[in-house]
Amino acid sequence: MTELSFRHLNPNWNAEPNAPDVELVVEGDTVQISFLLKPLAHDAEEGESATLRFVGCSRWQWDASDDRAWFAGEGRYSNQAPKWGAFYEVTGESRATDDWEILAPDSPNSRHFVLCFRDDIIEFVARDWSLTRKNA
């Protein structure tokens, strides 16, 4: 594995840290993940949700590693990613294929994304992503 680089992608939103109510939907090569936003952080209102949409998604993985494992150095990106509870684009890694839900072969322009919740780490390999927010 090469040295990893993490680009922080959520400077203006955070997931609800205690009960994000995560839902994942796969439609062809598009994967959407919806969750509650942290109220009062970055102008998020109580009950406001967000949906991350990954287009051209070739694979995704939902790992039940939690924040305790992360801080104990047991998570996949423990001691590598800048901080827990964020959304990153990861570069520099040869993508392992173990335990991934494979939708299609990776394309040359695929990118690797990691989203850390308190009780889960969800990863995506996709061409691109977008975020929409919805008030309660």
CB–CB of 20/34 below 8 Å?
A: no
User: Which three-class secondary structure state does DSSP give residue 40?
Assistant: coil
96, pLDDT greater than 70: no
The domain locations on the chain are: 5-134
Measuring CA to CA, which residue among 132, 99, 126, 135 is closest to residue 26? 126
The length of the chain in residues reads 136
Q: How far apart are CA 21 and CA 5, in angstroms?
A: 29
pTM, entire model: 0.89
pLDDT category of residue 35 using cuts at 50, 70 and 90: very high
